Amino acid sequence: MFDRRSARDGALRLLIGLLIAWLLTGCAGRELATRDEPGALSIDRALILAEAKRSLGTPYRYGGTSERGLDCSGLVQRAYSRAGIRVPRTSRAQFQALPRVDEARPGDLLFFATAGGRKASHVGIYLGDGEMIHAPGHGRSVTTTTLTLDYWQERFLGAAAPAP
């Protein structure tokens, strides 16, 4: 004879197990992995990093793409254009369109969900040695930051490599 209570309890246990697995997977995020190869930069990557370094100290300006002010994706667009590489304008469009990599090398892009949710809202350029160059936000300037901070680790979405 079919026992409804037993079937309902089994279905409930299965549902709870799936929910716990989903929650644990959602909390894990992607691992921010890097690979530094001293002396192995392509000319494109060297140009990108040189332009990004030249932008250090430039004030943050939402929508900015010039030396008068840069936002995070404007910094990326400006640095990549120095190497003749076109990238989309916004961090979200860059994240959606550019080829992903498992390990970031110097010159690659790092994407983060800083506005909550799982959509790219911030991008930086991997500098090497566990640091990135980025335009952090209103009232600040283009700067470097360490990627070992929990803030970046917890919000990391993925890396992309538009440069050879």
Catalytic residue, chosen from 72, 127, 135, 163, is 72
Catalytic residue, chosen from 45, 78, 122, 155, is 122
> What is the span of the domain harbouring residue 23?
1-30
CA 112/CA 55 separation, integer angstroms: 20
Tell me: do 60 and 88 sit in the same domain.
yes
pLDDT by residue (tens digit) across 114-124?
A: 998 889 999 99
CATH classification of the domain holding 74 = 3.90.1720.10
Tell me: do 38 and 21 sit in the same domain.
no
Tell me: do 74 and 14 sit in the same domain.
no
pLDDT by residue (tens digit) across 57-113?
A: 999 999 999 999 999 999 999 999 999 999 999 999 999 999 999 999 999 999 999
Tell me: do 25 and 62 sit in the same domain.
no
122 annotated active-site: yes
Tell me: do 23 and 87 sit in the same domain.
no
Buried b (16+ CB within 10 A) or exposed e, 115-150: eeeeebbbbbbbbbeebbbbbbeeeeebbebebeee
138 annotated active-site: no
The answer to whether 75 touches 49, Cβ cutoff 8 Å, is no
Catalytic residue, chosen from 45, 78, 134, 155, is 134
In the chain, the number of structural domains is 2
CA 60/CA 67 separation, integer angstroms: 10
pLDDT by residue (tens digit) across 6-55?
A: 555 554 454 444 334 433 334 345 788 888 876 779 999 999 999 999 99
Tell me: do 24 and 48 sit in the same domain.
no
Tell me: do 84 and 98 sit in the same domain.
yes
The answer to whether 133 touches 77, Cβ cutoff 8 Å, is no
Tell me, what DSSP letter sits at residue 85? Answer: -
131 forms beta bridges with 128, 146
Tell me: do 24 and 74 sit in the same domain.
no
pLDDT by residue (tens digit) across 132-142?
A: 999 999 999 99
Vertex 75, ends 37 and 41: CA angle to 5°?
20
Reading the block at residue 164, the tokens are 């050879």
Tell me: do 17 and 51 sit in the same domain.
no
The answer to whether 133 touches 124, Cβ cutoff 8 Å, is yes
Tell me: do 144 and 156 sit in the same domain.
yes
Tell me: do 41 and 12 sit in the same domain.
no
Closest CA to 32 of 117, 162, 146, 144: 146
Length of the chain: 164
Reading the block at residue 144, the tokens are 């470097």
Tell me: do 43 and 77 sit in the same domain.
yes
Q: Secondary structure of the chain: what % helix, strand, coil (to 5)?
A: 35, 20, 40
